[in-house]
Structure 1
Amino acid sequence: MTLDSNKVRLVMSDPVQLQSEPEAVKIPPFISTPVDHIPVIRATLKNAFKTGRTKSIQFRRQQLLSLAYLIKDNFHLFQQALASDLGRSHHETTILELGSTLTEVMTAYHNVAKWSKPEKARWSLNYFAMNPTIRKEPKGVVLIISPFNYPLWVSLGPFAGAIAAGNACTLKPSELTPAFSALLAELFPKYLDPDLYTVINGAIPEATKLLEFQWDHILFTGGSRIASIVLTAAAKTLSPVSTELGGKSPAVIDPNCDLKLTARRLVWGKVANAGQTCIAPDYALVPKSIVDQFVQACKDVLSDFYPEGAESSDSFARIVSPSHFNRIKGLLDRTEGEIVYGGGMNSQTKFIEPTIVTGVKGNDSLMGEEIFGPILPVIEVENVDEAIDFINARDHPLSLYVFSSNRAFKDKVAENTQSGAVVMNDTLTHCVAEGLPFGGIGPSGSGYHTGKYSFDMFTHLRSTLDNPTFLERLLWARYPPYNEQKAKSFMLLTLPSMPARTAAGGYAGSKRWGPLLIASVVAVSSFVLLIGRPRLVRA
């Protein structure tokens, strides 16, 4: 494949003409990759990577552009697949995944050459003559294990980073989205180099087999229970792992906020994709003085979103599987709070109505685990200090939301809590905001991705140093046999000076005589070498 500048412009200037109801298309059947094929696929990736062709920036750009066209050419196929898997409307799929994923791929395409350039190390008097440089090299053969809830964005976004970094890569999508996973497996060899980029479909047996191998990096997105299995398996092969695990992301409400706008943005974040979002606002911490007004504002928003009810709306998705439906139903059945809105369910269609529950305490069933569904517990607090204490008594969340127009209120929450991200007056959008890293902290995950952070995750920073021969006259003291003179000489050149303590308990300024001496000697040595070279004398 060769780069076509007309095609590059087409991606950006000729958007897909979205239809309100795309015609039905045939999705290929879901077929698990035979377990005995996985070692062969792994070996093929390894051998293809060893050829070195992924080190070419031109090759990476070609593959990234092909990935962009894989998405663009098949917008309606992806919409149809995710409607089948998640009961999600075509428009919601476009809003939540297609646009942001295509943008992320094209960002990598346009920046891969810049991202991959070697970087000079910070200038240092001690080492500048040795030309310390950081090379950006691919880690090797990497594995991405993606979840069901945002199968396009959480798989192909990081995948673009892996390509940009020059890796070979295997993608293991979720078996809970069979239509999407089957479509991806069919499209990959049509657009991408099949020796370097593959899709492996299946469930536990296939994932278990994959984890028997050593990978140069693994990105796992999913729940903490499965993450512990992945991390345990990776430890046996010393495979480095980044995780994105979610958790219970709180929303802190300022009593003086714009309640109508707050409710609209918070409720959207809760009901998008039927609440199956790792960064959805999991619960709201609301001052007692405004609980009734807050709840009413949320009810009004839900009536605006779904005037004929969510079950009849094409804009509301469904729970992915019967087991997930039953888990969420069990949390709601056991709550000691009061359901003040919603609560309706249909096991046949895996529908759970957007639900608001008040009077929820910290030990309630709805607070024991990430809800991952359209249920919003409302927890009453006296003030922002109590809200902060409530958050800090639990695992660090992946996201923390603060709704306030008061800078001091926002700063107080941000400065006294820990979370993967802290977002003011909105939900969800930070994960697709260009230039921001996306990742958790502690139990909510480790590592970062999106945009250049995906490239960085799959890149090995390789240090290089080239020590010129003329510096040998400065390094004599490092060689045996050692003595006091050599030790003092070397310390003079290398040890940093420290500020002297003053009588008042402070510190005086310091002078770095060692580095200055090195610079002087290097300059003199270079001059001597220069004037000592033989000169051509005209006869």
Structure 2
Amino acid sequence: MQYTPLEDIPRIREALRDGFRSGKTKIVAFRKEQLRQLGYMVQENKQAWLDAFKADLGRPYFEGEIHEFIATVTAIKDTYKSVEKWAKTENAPFDISSFSMHPKIRKEPKGTVLIIVPFNYPLFLSITPLMAAIAAGNTAVLKPSEHAPTCAALLHDLIGKYLDHDVVRVVQGGVEETTKLLELQWDHISYTGNPRVARIVSAAAAKHLTPITLELGGKNPVIIDPRCDLETAARRILWAKCANAGQICVAPDYVLVPREVQGKFIQMLKKIHEEFFPDGPAKSDSLSRIVSAAHTQRLASLIQQTKGEIVFGGDIDMESRYVSPTLVLNPSPGEPLMKEEIFGPILPVLPVNDVDEAIEFINARDHPLVIYVFSDSSDFQATVVDNTQSGAFACNELLFHVAAYGLPLGGTGLSGHGLIRGKFGFDTFSHFRGCVNQAGWLDKVLLWRRYAPYTESNRRFLARATADLFPERERREWSLWSLPVVGTIVTLAAAGALLF
């Protein structure tokens, strides 16, 4: 991967600002054409993307196609079909005191934005915020992760080929290049990654008072209802933990299981592990590899330091960046495995007495990106969702809530803030500009009363005509004379709305 020269980065930003000032991105038809090209960019290079995922992450083609390629194309298509509706100017809700001003809400682009993406889903997590930024009419710089160099280079080459050079550019590099980008002023920054880097990004954005969206991760818990189908729960949990070798921000991070069914649940996990990897995970073509030697070493350290029982797994191969699916029973809540987001195929299982203890355990920690529950009881589900906080909440399924049409994707607290998916992403990269247009003739018949010199008569008139007080404190008494006043206001305002 060839890094972008540092001296070029300010010039790239200025070129994109010039592209925004040209006004072409404000034209919805132009935005649609760029989105169409974005769709072609992904769709026409499917094998190149799958090969890039394989090269950087050791990802099986099946996962690359289902988890990332199809999800990305579908999202672009939905945005392309919806952008005209999203971009339409809206009338403000009717209110008698202001509708004569024709209040409207314009959706305008913020300007030139910076999008910093992680390594784990290098296509989907690049294109999701990018399509939202384009749909909203912005120009954008994409900074892909240097930890996925094949994908970053492919993204750079294809965007240069398919998209307008004045609208989207890719900056390649590592810490030094990212630092240079963050020294510049942007109209919005979107960062997907971990809380440590998010603090650096936030501090840089604060110097320019730049709005920022943070899509982070967290320790996503799974709560097991002892009455649920334990085999289905175990199968779905282990699948989600092994997908992309656990390198997913919404992956299950640990499981809280009632003591009464803990043994049975563990046996189910062992059985399903053997079904998934009959010849052992090291020989399987269905397990991705860890992105780098440093990340592999970090996971190895978590396994070595655990005070829990390793039920299966625990194997590491630094050369091939292989970490086996590993089940850790009853680790210490204070050890590193339970302190930081795992981001790998290690699954801690902790026993609890009941759902109340599980909720207490979760609430004693930072808000996760998602809380998972396996239960067929609506009361059990409600108990968890009503007494916890998280970016999302999912029952009897894992990961797929990210692909559910029409739902937001974002965190709360340490798991992030802001939304970048679909209509929510369009709104994130848009400025909602309030606009009014008041007819001048209203001054002659009504609004002259607002001007100096202020008189008691005018004050009383305007107070009676516009006040709307809380009845429990001061109930308005309508006098006979006030009814025609209101009628006159309504009539004149309606006439103004129709004529002007």
Q: What TM-score do the two structures reach when normalised by structure 2?
A: 0.95
The one-character-per-residue Cα deviations of 1:284-337 (angstroms, maximum 9, x if unpaired) are 000001111111111112111111111111110011111111111111111111
Contact 1:119 1:133 in 2 (8 A): yes
Aligned to 2:407: 436
Aligned to 1:407: 378
- The 1:529–1:259 alpha-carbon spacing in structure 2 relative to 1, beyond 3 Å, is closer
Could you tell me how far 1:525 is from its partner in structure 2? 3.4
C-alpha separation in 2, matches of 1:268 and 1:335: 23
Aligned to 2:192: 221
Q: Percent identity?
A: 47
Aligned to 1:22: none
Could you tell me how far 1:515 is from its partner in structure 2? 11
Structure 2 residue corresponding to 1:148, chosen from 97, 116, 119: 119
C-alpha separation in 1, matches of 2:121 and 2:188: 21
The one-character-per-residue Cα deviations of 1:479-514 (angstroms, maximum 9, x if unpaired) are 33334333333322332132236xxxxx99998999
Aligned to 2:472: 500
C-alpha separation in 1, matches of 2:336 and 2:480: 65
- The 1:374–1:495 alpha-carbon spacing in structure 2 relative to 1, beyond 3 Å, is same
- The 1:528–1:266 alpha-carbon spacing in structure 2 relative to 1, beyond 3 Å, is closer
The one-letter code matched in structure 2 to 1:462 is: R
| 1:66-85 pair list within 5 angstroms | 66-85=37-56
Contact 1:249 1:400 in 2 (8 A): yes
C-alpha separation in 1, matches of 2:398 and 2:31: 34
C-alpha separation in 1, matches of 2:406 and 2:337: 34
Aligned to 1:317: 288
C-alpha separation in 1, matches of 2:199 and 2:107: 30
C-alpha separation in 2, matches of 1:398 and 1:105: 24
C-alpha separation in 2, matches of 1:514 and 1:232: 59
Could you tell me how far 1:524 is from its partner in structure 2? 4.1
Please tell me whether residue 279 in structure 1 is matched to residue 250 in structure 2: yes
Aligned to 2:462: 490
C-alpha separation in 1, matches of 2:333 and 2:69: 37
- The 1:75–1:387 alpha-carbon spacing in structure 2 relative to 1, beyond 3 Å, is same
Contact 1:497 1:510 in 2 (8 A): no
Please tell me whether residue 63 in structure 1 is matched to residue 34 in structure 2: yes
Aligned to 1:114: 85
Aligned to 2:147: 176
- The 1:186–1:492 alpha-carbon spacing in structure 2 relative to 1, beyond 3 Å, is same
C-alpha separation in 2, matches of 1:513 and 1:103: 61
Contact 1:212 1:237 in 2 (8 A): no
| 1:210-289 pair list within 5 angstroms | 210-289=181-260
Tell me the SS of whatever aligns to 1:211.
Answer: helix
| 1:99-498 pair list within 5 angstroms | 99-472=70-443, 473-498=445-470
Contact 1:35 1:206 in 2 (8 A): yes
The one-letter code matched in structure 2 to 1:437 is: P
- The 1:438–1:488 alpha-carbon spacing in structure 2 relative to 1, beyond 3 Å, is same
The one-letter code matched in structure 1 to 2:287 is: F
C-alpha separation in 1, matches of 2:81 and 2:483: 42
Aligned residue-pair number: 496
The one-letter code matched in structure 2 to 1:43 is: E
> 5+ residue gaps in structure 1?
1-29, 502-506, 531-539
The one-character-per-residue Cα deviations of 1:28-73 (angstroms, maximum 9, x if unpaired) are xx10000100111111000011010011111111110100010001
Moved over 6 A (4+): 507-518, 526-530
> 5+ residue gaps in structure 2?
none
C-alpha separation in 1, matches of 2:323 and 2:427: 39
C-alpha separation in 1, matches of 2:90 and 2:379: 39
- The 1:509–1:292 alpha-carbon spacing in structure 2 relative to 1, beyond 3 Å, is farther
Could you tell me how far 1:250 is from its partner in structure 2? 0.3
The one-letter code matched in structure 1 to 2:326 is: T
- The 1:529–1:103 alpha-carbon spacing in structure 2 relative to 1, beyond 3 Å, is closer
The one-character-per-residue Cα deviations of 1:433-468 (angstroms, maximum 9, x if unpaired) are 110000000110000121111111111111001111
Tell me the SS of whatever aligns to 1:267.
Answer: helix
The one-letter code matched in structure 1 to 2:87 is: S
Contact 1:174 1:181 in 2 (8 A): yes
Aligned to 1:15: none
Structure 2 residue corresponding to 1:520, chosen from 482, 487, 499: 487
The one-character-per-residue Cα deviations of 1:183-234 (angstroms, maximum 9, x if unpaired) are 1111111100011111110001111111111111111000000000000001
Contact 1:497 1:512 in 2 (8 A): no
Tell me the SS of whatever aligns to 1:262.
Answer: helix
